Homo-oligomer: A and B are copies of this chain.
């Protein structure tokens, strides 16, 4: 245990790891990239800068909350098309779009695709900061929800097939006797599998098991 003084020192001098966030800037205009870089660093956000979509895709991204600031007009790939591809690439970062020559249909398309904001150039610094702040908060929420779901999935993966079947039927409200009938088992065997499922999932009550089963099904439908 270090002294309270040193602990407070650390808090004052740097963000705790939970506060870190990265803005990925994708724009072919190097001057604008540098300006954005300064802007974001001035509010203690980390930045990564890319001149083309390909560079961004190929780069390593740390496992931290963040967002993408993306120019619509880019060499090679179009910004809107890239936005649409992000999901397929397994990238779930929120997107803030900027454009020099945008029109309304383009804006509508971007917003329908889930963009956090769509800023025509020139934009005010504060508008950009607001958009990025919203985007990062959205990513934090998504990551938090995903972490919960991941924990559930990990525990569910340790269940045997029988245990999964019994768990789902139990979570649907079936009695042990009914489960035994539907699966062609004895009631005792069902109790064993049910108990194992509760233990492996970390559920202490049926109510918890019901909520876990619902969360797993929701995660799958998504």
Interface residues of A (CB under 8 A from B): 99, 102-105, 107-108, 111-112, 117-118, 120, 171-174, 204-208, 210-211, 214
CA–CA, A174 and B208, complex, Å: 10
**A120 engages B107 (CB within 8 Å):** no
Known A207-B172, A210-B210: A111·B105 in contact at CB below 8 Å: no
CA–CA, A204 and B175, complex, Å: 11
**B205 engages A173 (CB within 8 Å):** yes
**A207 engages B107 (CB within 8 Å):** no
**A104 engages B107 (CB within 8 Å):** yes
Point out the residues of chain B lying under 8 angstroms from A102, CB to CB.
Answer: 104
Point out the residues of chain B lying under 8 angstroms from A211, CB to CB.
Answer: 210, 214
**A173 engages B207 (CB within 8 Å):** yes
22 CB-based A-B contacts, threshold 8 Å: A99-B104, A102-B104, A103-B104, A104-B104, A104-B120, A105-B120, A107-B111, A107-B118, A108-B111, A108-B117, A108-B118, A111-B112, A112-B117, A171-B207, A173-B204, A173-B206, A174-B205, A206-B210, A210-B210, A210-B211, A211-B214, A214-B214
